[in-house]
Amino acid sequence: MTWNSTINVRASIEAPLLMEVMGMKLRFGAEFGNYGFEDSMPPQTAELKGTTAMGLVSFPIGPGKIKVGVGVIGKSVGSMFEASYGLRLGSLNARVGVRYATILTPGADVQENWITVPSSLGWMDGLVAVGINL
């Protein structure tokens, strides 16, 4: 199958305090968003889309940031890894990066779109993010 992605939107919030554990700085947060894929091969009947909710841990490293998260992707359990690089302009920051999301345990929404259900599904996104520091 060949799948085409639709435009995705995500909103995340991170705790205002920066913690340090064994020399490693980190923040906890949460993220909510959506995802969508459509089968582009005839008869074009399959569709996989839904919402996501994840708990995050982010690691700011200079102008870069690494995020790791676990949560719900549609009706399935999933995880994500994100690496981004950005610059800060006053209270605004702009970031570009890549993100990898994985559905670890395919749920009913995945099973109805596949003849043989895969043990996991994954995809990689490019990202552009704008953040506001309060």
When pLDDT is cut at 50, 70 and 90, the band that residue 1 belongs to is low
Domain span at residue 39 reads: 3-132
Instruction: Tell me the per-residue pLDDT of 51-83, one tens digit each, with 9 for 90 and over.
Output: 999 999 999 998 999 999 999 998 899 999 999
Predicted pLDDT of residue 14: 92
Coil, helix or strand at residue 29: strand
The domain tally of the chain equals 1
Predicted pLDDT of residue 44: 67
Strands (E), the chain: 3-5, 10-14, 19-21, 24-39, 47-61, 64-73, 76-89, 92-105, 121-132
When pLDDT is cut at 50, 70 and 90, the band that residue 24 belongs to is very high
Which span out of 5-9, 38-42, 76-80, 117-121 was modeled with the highest average pLDDT?
Answer: 76-80
Predicted pLDDT of residue 42: 73
